[in-house]
Amino acid sequence: MKIDPARIEAHRGASSAFPENTMLAFEAAHRAGALSIETDMSLLADGSFAIFHDDRLGRTVSGDAMIGSLGAEDVRQLDAGAWRGAEFAGAMVPLLDDLLDWQETVGIRFNLEMKCHGTRQGEAASALAAHLAGCDLSALMVSSFDAAFLAAIRTTLPALPRALIAGTLPPDWRDLSETLDLEALHLDHETVTPQMVTDIHAAGMKCRVYTVNKAKDMTRMRDAGVDTMITDLPETFL
C-alpha cells in the first residue's frame, strides 16, 4: 500500500534497511520520497549535538561511554555502520550541524527528537537555540518525552514547533498542551483511537504516531485521521 508522502515520516531515516541515524539512512529516505525525517539528538559535553539515540555507547557503536561525556571530535571517530554489516562500516555519527547543512541542499523537513537522558534540559534548550539561530524553523520541529526540556525550549526558542511524545494520551494532556504551547502530540500507534485523534484535533493540535511498520496498522491510523505515521519503512509506504 502507498500513503500520501505528506503523512509519512521516516523514523531515524530508512532505518529498516540502513544503520539508524546515519547519513546513509537519511539519504535513502530522501531517495524513497520522504518529505520528513524523525531523528534523535543528544547533547555532548562541548555543547554540540550528536545525532544519536542512546544515552550510552554500545548498541550501535563500540564502547561503553556515556554519550554526554564525549565531545564532537570524539563522536567523529565512532563507526555507526559496522553493527549493521560490513558494507556499512565507516558510517559516521552525524552532528546536528552536518544534518542542517544537508537539509539546506535537499529541502527535507526534520523532526528533531531531543534525548535529554534525564539531565541537562535547560542547557540543551539554550544550546539548541544557539545552534538553530538563523535556520528556517518552518522546516524543523523538536519533540521529546521530556516536558522539562520542552518548557525550556519554549523560552529559549519559542518559534520552534514543539511536540510531546508519550506512550499513550496523558490524562493532563490538555493542560500540558497549553503549558508547553504544543503543536502536536506524538503517541504510540497501538494506544491511539479515532476519538483520541478527534479530541487532539479539536484542541488545535496534530496527532502523529510511532512506529508504524505493518500495512494493517498504517491503514488503521490513516483511517483514524492521524496526521503523520512515523515508520522505519518509508520505501515500503511511499
Residues 195-214 have pLDDT tens digits of 999 999 999 999 999 999 99
Please give the pLDDT value at position 167.
97
The enclosing H or E element of 133 equals none
Q: Domain range spanning residue 110?
A: 5-237
- Distance separating alpha carbons of residues 58 and 106, to the nearest angstrom: 31
Q: Are strands 36-43 and 49-50 parallel, antiparallel or unpaired?
A: antiparallel
Question: pLDDT, tens digit, for every residue of 120-145?
Answer: 999 999 999 999 999 999 999 999 99
Please give the pLDDT value at position 224.
98
Please give the pLDDT value at position 213.
98
Task: Identify whether the C-beta of residue 151 lies closer than 8 Å to the C-beta of residue 173.
Answer: no
Give the bridge partners for 9, in sequence order: 230
Instruction: Return all residues near 62 (Cβ < 8 A) that are at least 6 apart.
Output: 78, 79, 82
**Per-residue cell: 88:** 556499512
Please give the pLDDT value at position 101.
97
Question: pLDDT, tens digit, for every residue of 147-169?
Answer: 999 999 999 999 999 999 999 99
Please give the pLDDT value at position 125.
98
The residue length of the chain stands at: 238
CA distances from 185 to 42, 83, 163 (A): 21, 32, 5
The enclosing H or E element of 17 equals none
Helix/strand/coil for 6: helix
Task: Identify whether the C-beta of residue 20 lies closer than 8 Å to the C-beta of residue 13.
Answer: yes
Please give the pLDDT value at position 158.
98
Strands (E), 32-86: 36-43, 49-50
- Distance separating alpha carbons of residues 132 and 128, to the nearest angstrom: 6
Please give the pLDDT value at position 66.
98
Domain count across the chain: 1
Question: pLDDT, tens digit, for every residue of 48-98?
Answer: 999 999 999 999 999 999 999 999 999 999 999 999 999 999 999 999 999
Please give the pLDDT value at position 157.
98
CATH number at residue 205: 3.20.20.190
Please, what is the average pLDDT of the chain? Answer: 98
**Per-residue cell: 9:** 515520516
Please give the pLDDT value at position 225.
98
Question: pLDDT, tens digit, for every residue of 7-53?
Answer: 999 999 999 999 999 999 999 999 999 999 999 999 999 999 999 99
Mean pLDDT of 177-205: 98
The enclosing H or E element of 115 equals strand 109-115
